[in-house]
């Protein structure tokens, strides 16, 4: 049976092979060889991953590549390594020693370059500073910063000493930060006075101060001075980043860590109101991120890799920081908004620095399209040779615009499918050898085994929409949900034992290309931010005026999806526009501005089944202005629906 929710309507059969000169120079340039490698990797995945792992540095080699006791995997068991060593020290005795590791542009226009040697030095010093604050292997450190080089320094310093970092996106509000700090039990918070966003200061330290009113685990706060904003400093607790560095004893010897030592926790949205702390470990994550960066971006020594993602999200972890550095590449990091001081900012950055790879999100590409072709046309983008997208399905119009207008028709576009949980890219074209179809992420990477299945687990036929599963473990997979292994088991592995449930719908076409069709659960994708509708609902009901709330998504041209909230009020509260604004602001305060519903609608009641479950399918149809289709026999009171509709007029 095909789920009508994942029936595919997209028909797109144009094929874009890479230009001949791209193919000639590419790392992977023979389709036959690539197919052979994929076949071999499927036949013996452990040998495939071990071969890649051998290119990295290990203090002690593994006893077993994989120990799989479904759904718990241990990769490279018995081995010890250090990710920061592999990102930094490994390059110091090569010609990369004085090569730029990071090229950073601040929003006001300031530019900084850090070579591998300089970054190494700073990381060793900061690692020493953290130790000076009492941080030990296994302790959790929260990083709540903007896009500044010191955020990368902080992550690498944690990795060096075996502290587990939890980066919290700087767009989250104090309450969301507090919850993440408490869930992880973080001992130290690293932040900055404020960060720049569209010329305004985002008061990060103020948010930290508020969050810390209710975070008993935090002993120290490290504050980077970035904007010069006035801050309060709590004696004994708060420390200045640069003062700490100046007095720190550098930690030159990296900690030799078990391959399965937790590297980081990253909170992501699920179907319940409580964000889950996705746990990644050291060795497997390193191997997956190293290989995917090199192969999917066809990385060359001379590349300047520009990934626009914030390091508060997994894309920033894997493809701003760890992936490029593991490969000895140069990562370009931009601090601010893409439309500041004008909407040509990214194009001017690419021109000024000569970026050769651009990796961004469809929501950004659609905004660039809207802003107009004249903006990129004013800049020399000829340094670009490869483009990438991630985060949501890309509509073919945006794909072809990106290919033609930004890539000048000469740059392959790699549409990369993956998730916070997968750690690294799972499905993407090898740019030189897999011709692209606009809107398709194409084929799984070598060693990645996926299926599209029906609800009963049987394989779908060509072009039949179904659930995307990963059939076997892969090195960069999440290992658990922090503090809640039962949720890990239940969420990802219970429905199809031994196979990982991605939560996405997909179809495979007659060429074996995969077309991702979005989430099949109550997780939505608003302007590239993954959000659980339940999180927004619980923020809404935490307001004293709200009795009940249901949040659904409707398609949005620019943002991918927009949030529509249906709210019933407690008696004594009036349904006014002022209250709508108050509720939207309340969500911004609880979660962050990006989670504000686009539309709030007051309702006398919400449509429910007889067992009391909110019928979201009906609300989705109402939100989209559609006629109700399908079954309403379980609906408790048909009048509710009629009222909701008449509210529309």
Applying CB under 6 A, which residues contact ligand PRX?
Answer: 268, 314-315, 390-393, 415-420, 441, 502-504, 516, 518-519, 525, 530
Dist CA 135 CA 648 (whole Å): 56
Task: Dig out the tokens for 230 from the structure.
Answer: 């006035």
Q: How far is the CB of 322 from ligand PRX (least distance, A)?
A: 14
Q: How far is the CB of 644 from ligand PRX (least distance, A)?
A: 28
Q: How far is the CB of 400 from ligand PRX (least distance, A)?
A: 16
Can you say whether the dihedral through the CA atoms of 304, 309, 313, 314 is positive or negative?
Answer: negative
Contact 281, 259 (CB under 8 A): yes
Query: What is the chain's Cα-based Rg?
Result: 24
Q: How far is the CB of 482 from ligand PRX (least distance, A)?
A: 15
CA distances from 325 to 61, 89, 152, 230, 616 (A): 22, 11, 10, 34, 44
CA distances from 471 to 120, 452, 498 (A): 39, 10, 7
Q: How far is the CB of 525 from ligand PRX (least distance, A)?
A: 6
Whichever of 179 and 415 has its CB closer to ligand PRX, that residue is 415
Q: How far is the CB of 502 from ligand PRX (least distance, A)?
A: 6
Q: How far is the CB of 150 from ligand PRX (least distance, A)?
A: 23
Dist CA 88 CA 100 (whole Å): 11
Coil, strand or helix at 339: coil
Q: How far is the CB of 361 from ligand PRX (least distance, A)?
A: 8
Q: How far is the CB of 427 from ligand PRX (least distance, A)?
A: 7
Q: How far is the CB of 164 from ligand PRX (least distance, A)?
A: 19
Q: How far is the CB of 457 from ligand PRX (least distance, A)?
A: 20
Dist CA 99 CA 114 (whole Å): 8
Q: How far is the CB of 278 from ligand PRX (least distance, A)?
A: 8
Q: Are strands 480-481 and 200-202 parallel, antiparallel or unpaired?
A: unpaired
Whichever of 308 and 419 has its CB closer to ligand PRX, that residue is 419
Whichever of 446 and 518 has its CB closer to ligand PRX, that residue is 518
Q: Where are the beta strands (DSSP E) in 402-444?
A: 413-416
The helix (run of H) or strand (run of E) holding residue 539 is helix 533-541
Contact 573, 566 (CB under 8 A): no
Whichever of 557 and 648 has its CB closer to ligand PRX, that residue is 557
Dist CA 541 CA 550 (whole Å): 10
Q: How far is the CB of 416 from ligand PRX (least distance, A)?
A: 5
Tokens 């067992």, residue located: 611
Q: How far is the CB of 1 from ligand PRX (least distance, A)?
A: 22
Q: How many CB atoms are located within 10 Å of the residue 44 CB?
A: 13
Residue 537 neighbours by CB under 8 Å, 6+ apart: 273, 549, 550, 551, 565
Dist CA 78 CA 62 (whole Å): 5
Whichever of 166 and 525 has its CB closer to ligand PRX, that residue is 525
Task: Dig out the tokens for 175 from the structure.
Answer: 């309450």
Dist CA 396 CA 7 (whole Å): 18
Whichever of 161 and 413 has its CB closer to ligand PRX, that residue is 413
From 311, 367, 320, select the one nearest 151 (Cα to Cα).
311
Question: Could you tell me how far CA 474 lies from the centroid of its own chain?
Answer: 18
Q: How many CB atoms are located within 10 Å of the residue 645 CB?
A: 15
Three-state SS annotation for 603-648: CCCCCEECCCCECHHHHHHHHCCCCCCCCCCCECCHHHHHHHHHHH
Whichever of 316 and 473 has its CB closer to ligand PRX, that residue is 316
From 616, 633, 628, 603, select the one nearest 563 (Cα to Cα).
616
Task: Dig out the tokens for 84 from the structure.
Answer: 């920061």
Whichever of 359 and 566 has its CB closer to ligand PRX, that residue is 359
Q: For residue 363, what is the DSSP state?
A: H
Whichever of 96 and 317 has its CB closer to ligand PRX, that residue is 317
Whichever of 163 and 287 has its CB closer to ligand PRX, that residue is 287
Whichever of 275 and 391 has its CB closer to ligand PRX, that residue is 391
Residues shown for the chain: 649
Whichever of 245 and 394 has its CB closer to ligand PRX, that residue is 394
Q: How far is the CB of 441 from ligand PRX (least distance, A)?
A: 5
Whichever of 74 and 519 has its CB closer to ligand PRX, that residue is 519
Dist CA 123 CA 128 (whole Å): 8
Three-state SS annotation for 79-104: CEECHHHHHHHHHHCCCCCCCEEEEE
Dist CA 283 CA 62 (whole Å): 10
What phi and psi values does residue 146 have, to the nearest 5 degrees? Answer: -90, -165
Q: How far is the CB of 420 from ligand PRX (least distance, A)?
A: 3
Whichever of 116 and 417 has its CB closer to ligand PRX, that residue is 417
Q: How many CB atoms are located within 10 Å of the residue 419 CB?
A: 18
Whichever of 145 and 365 has its CB closer to ligand PRX, that residue is 365
Whichever of 145 and 314 has its CB closer to ligand PRX, that residue is 314
Burial of 396 per CB tally in 10 Å (0-12, 13-18, 19+)? middle
Residue 35 neighbours by CB under 8 Å, 6+ apart: none
């Amino acid at each position: 049976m095909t789920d009508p929710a994942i029936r595919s309507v997209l028909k797109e059969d144009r094929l874009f092979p890479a230009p001949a000169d791209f193919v000639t120079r590419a790392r992977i340039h023979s389709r036959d060889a690539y197919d052979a490698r994929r076949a071999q990797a499927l036949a013996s995945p452990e040998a495939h991953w071990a071969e890649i792992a051998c290119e990295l540095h290990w203090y002690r080699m593994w006893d077993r590549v994989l120990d799989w006791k479904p759904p718990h995997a241990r990769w490279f068991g018995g081995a010890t390594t250090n990710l920061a060593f592999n990102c930094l020290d490994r390059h110091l005795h090569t010609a990369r020693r004085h090569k730029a590791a990071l090229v950073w542009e601040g929003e006001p226009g300031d530019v900084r370059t850090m070579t591998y040697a300089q970054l190494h030095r700073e990381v060793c010093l900061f690692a020493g500073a953290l130790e000076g604050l009492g941080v030990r292997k296994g302790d959790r450190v929260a990083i709540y910063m903007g896009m500044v080089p010191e955020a990368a320094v902080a992550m690498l310093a944690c990795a060096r000493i075996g502290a587990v970092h939890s980066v919290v996106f700087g767009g989250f509000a104090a309450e969301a930060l507090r919850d993440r700090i408490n869930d992880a039990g973080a001992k130290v918070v690293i932040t900055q006075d404020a960060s720049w966003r569209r010329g305004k200061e985002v008061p990060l330290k103020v948010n930290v101060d508020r969050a810390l009113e209710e975070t008993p685990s935090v002993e120290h706060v490290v504050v980077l001075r970035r904007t010069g904003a006035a801050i309060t400093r709590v004696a004994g607790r708060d420390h200045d980043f640069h003062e700490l560095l100046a007095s720190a004893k550098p930690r030159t010897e990296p900690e030799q860590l078990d391959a399965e030592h937790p590297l980081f926790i990253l909170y992501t949205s699920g179907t319940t109101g409580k964000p889950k702390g996705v746990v990644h470990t050291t060795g497997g994550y390193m191997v997956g991120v190293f290989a995917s960066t090199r192969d999917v971006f066809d990385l060359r020594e001379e590349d300047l890799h520009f990934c626009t993602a914030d390091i508060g999200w997994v894309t920033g972890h894997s493809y701003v920081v760890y992936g490029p550095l593991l490969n000895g590449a140069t990562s370009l990091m931009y601090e601010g908004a893409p439309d500041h001081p004008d909407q040509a900012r990214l194009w001017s950055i690419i021109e000024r620095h000569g970026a050769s790879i651009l990796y961004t999100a469809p929501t950004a590409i659609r905004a660039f399209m809207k802003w107009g072709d004249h903006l990129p046309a004013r800049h020399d983008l000829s340094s670009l040779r490869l483009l990438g997208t991630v985060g949501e399905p890309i509509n073919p119009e945006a794909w072809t615009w990106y290919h033609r207008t930004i890539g000048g028709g000469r740059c392959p576009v790699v549409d990369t499918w993956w998730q916070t949980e997968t750690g690294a890219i799972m499905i993407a074209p090898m740019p030189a050898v897999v011709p692209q179809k606009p809107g398709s992420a194409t084929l799984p990477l070598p060693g990645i085994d996926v299926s599209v299945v029906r609800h009963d687990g049987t394989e779908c036929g060509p072009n039949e929409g179904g659930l995307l599963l990963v059939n076997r473990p892969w090195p960069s997979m999440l290992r658990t949900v922090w503090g809640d292994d039962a949720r890990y088991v239940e969420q990802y592995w219970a429905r199809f034992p031994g196979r990982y449930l991605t939560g996405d719908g997909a179809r495979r076409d007659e060429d074996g290309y995969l077309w991702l069709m979005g989430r099949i659960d109550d997780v939505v994708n608003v302007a590239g931010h993954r959000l659980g509708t339940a999180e927004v609902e619980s923020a809404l009901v935490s307001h004293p005026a709200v009795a009940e709330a249901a949040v659904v998504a409707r398609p949005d041209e620019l943002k991918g999806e927009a949030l529509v909230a249906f709210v019933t009020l407690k008696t004594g509260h009036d349904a006014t526009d002022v209250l709508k604004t108050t509720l939207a602001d309340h969500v911004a305060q609880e979660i962050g501005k990006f989670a504000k519903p686009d539309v709030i609608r007051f309702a006398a009641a919400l449509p429910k089944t007889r067992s009391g479950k909110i019928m979201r399918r009906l609300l989705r149809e109402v939100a989209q202005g559609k006629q109700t289709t399908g079954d309403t026999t379980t609906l408790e009171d048909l009048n509710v629906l009629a009222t909701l509709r008449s509210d529309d007029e």
